[in-house]
Amino acid sequence: MDLPTPAEIISLRVKGRGFWKWLVVFSVLAATILAGRIYSSQSTQGFRERKKSVDSKVRILREIGNSFESSELKKDLQKIENYSADLNSASKAGSIQEKTDSLALLERALPESMKRWSEFAETSSDKLLQHVAKESRFLKMESEDRHPLTAKEEEKANDYFRMAREEWLSGNKFRRDGNHLYALVLYKRSLKYSLSSLKVSKLPYPEEYRKAADRLIK
């Protein structure tokens, strides 16, 4: 068998280098495409998680805002609602940049709104607690003929008041720690339990809390 000539050996080496060169190019290209797809998937997942977080905050603000009358806070809530609507619109038909911008705008606006609303809810739930405590004392001084309550009803009303106070105290702790979202959830529970205590005691709701009672008490 004839051995390859030096020229043939050089030719094979050149061809081999060309093959490896193209193999490297295609490998880099494939890796770039794969990395782009992974990044896109992670970006989409990150956007969804962030949107889910802001949606939960808007929802609790809406629930509190629709239960109380405050012209200043209503304006604040309307601003948040507008940002939320823009985000939902961008999520359905907007570009990636529009989605990112609308989400960032809502994320920047929410912290101050959450703080203002938690301060309002703390004061409001505390005021109702004081009202329930005062009315309960008056109720005990009345005769059974004027305001009859069974022992079971009285116990239930007291339990509701105790739970309302516990939720209020827990809400204060979370608010001091800067967790205004969970503070709002706890203040809302406190309001509900205080209103439930009044209902079981057959006592009327204060006028400013009637709207909250309509929404929270079934």
> Does a structural domain hold residue 51?
no
pTM of the model: 0.73
Residue 71: CB atoms within 10 A of its CB come to 6
pLDDT band for 63, please (50, 70, 90 cuts).
confident
Question: Which of left, alpha, beta for 202 (phi over 0: left; psi -120 to 50: alpha)?
Answer: left
Q: Which residue has the tokens 């005062």?
A: 134
> Does a structural domain hold residue 140?
yes
Between 5 and 69, whose confidence is greater? 69
Nearest to 108 by CA among 88, 87, 123: 87
> Does a structural domain hold residue 148?
yes
> Does a structural domain hold residue 3?
no
Report, as an integer, the average pLDDT of 21-25.
55
pLDDT of residue 187: 95
Percent of the chain with pLDDT over 70: 76
Nearest to 129 by CA among 218, 70, 202, 193: 193
pLDDT of residue 132: 95
> Does a structural domain hold residue 49?
no
pLDDT of residue 39: 41
Evaluate the CA torsion angle 197, 200, 203, 208 in order and state its sign: positive
Report, as an integer, the average pLDDT of 190-214.
93
> Does a structural domain hold residue 155?
yes
pLDDT (tens digit, 9 = 90+) per residue, 31-53? Answer: 455 444 544 444 555 888 998 98
> Does a structural domain hold residue 166?
yes
**CA angle, 106 then 107 then 112, to 5°:** 95
> Does a structural domain hold residue 61?
no
pLDDT of residue 2: 57
pLDDT of residue 75: 87
Host domain of residue 119: 114-216
pLDDT band for 143, please (50, 70, 90 cuts).
low
Amino acid occupying residue 75: K
Between 141 and 88, whose confidence is greater? 88
**CA angle, 73 then 189 then 182, to 5°:** 65
pLDDT (tens digit, 9 = 90+) per residue, 95-122? Answer: 888 888 899 999 999 999 999 999 999 9
Domain tally for the chain?
A: 1
Q: Which region among 1-10, 70-79, 80-89, 105-114 has the lowest average model confidence (pLDDT)?
A: 1-10
pLDDT of residue 182: 92
How far, in Å, are 82, 109, 130, 215 from residue 78 at the CA level? 6, 12, 30, 19
Report, as an integer, the average pLDDT of 119-128.
94
How far, in Å, are 156, 173, 190, 192 from residue 146 at the CA level? 20, 40, 28, 26
Q: What is the SS3 assignment for 56?
A: helix
The answer to whether residue 10 scores a pLDDT higher than 60 is no
Query: For residues 75 and 8, what is the distance between their CA atoms, to the nearest angstrom?
Result: 84
